[in-house]
């Protein structure tokens, strides 16, 4: 694998991001909004209570879609060494990313038009897929030059 130091640094950062996104509930806080975890991520996410999971009865620092994206990035990042060995084509990873972006748009539009109501679970799952797809595209950077 090329750029092992870069890979490890981003991995540590993603682990930190996922832990922080869990919010104040894991730190014993009574709420996340106003807690350092909530303040750290307030510029990234709208943090709407009805669109967030909770831990120990405390809202997470990000909504379910953002948490899914962060968790997907971490899961995808952890799988980069495997993706490199599988030698997935660049076309496949780009198609996967475009498909997941399309799913995000379709989910938002369908909910907006009243065709269906998306749930926190569906938002999380679609965010998870998007995060994994982004990591799959980035995995190209770590392939050894021939």
Token match 């870069």: residue? Answer: 6
Mean pLDDT for 111-138 is 95
pTM of the predicted model as reported, rounded to 2 decimal places:
0.90
Distance CA 126, CA 35 (A): 27
Q: How far is CA 29 from the centre of its chain?
A: 24
Q: Which domain holds residue 89?
A: 4-142
- Other CB atoms within a 10 A radius of the CB of residue 42 amount to 15
Q: Provide the 3-class DSSP secondary structure of residue 146.
A: coil
Residue 37 burial (10 A CB sphere; 0-12, 13-18, 19+)? buried
Question: Considering its fold, how many domains does the chain have in total?
Answer: 1
Q: What is the pLDDT of residues 78-106, one digit of tens each?
A: 999 888 887 667 788 899 999 999 999 99
């Amino acid at each position: 694998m090329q750029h092992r130091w870069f890979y490890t640094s981003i991995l540590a950062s993603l682990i930190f991001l996922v832990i922080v996104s869990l919010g104040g509930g894991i730190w014993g806080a009574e709420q996340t909004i106003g807690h350092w975890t909530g303040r750290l991520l307030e510029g990234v996410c709208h943090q709407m209570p009805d669109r967030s999971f909770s831990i120990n009865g405390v809202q997470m620092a990000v909504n379910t879609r953002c948490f899914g994206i962060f968790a997907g990035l971490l899961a995808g990042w952890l799988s980069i060494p495997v993706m490199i060995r599988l030698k997935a084509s660049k076309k496949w990873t780009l198609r996967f990313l475009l498909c997941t972006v399309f799913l995000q748009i379709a989910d938002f539009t369908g909910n907006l038009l009243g065709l269906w109501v998306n749930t926190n679970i569906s938002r999380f799952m679609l965010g998870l897929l998007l995060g994994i797809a982004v990591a799959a595209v980035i995995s190209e950077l770590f392939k050894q030059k021939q």
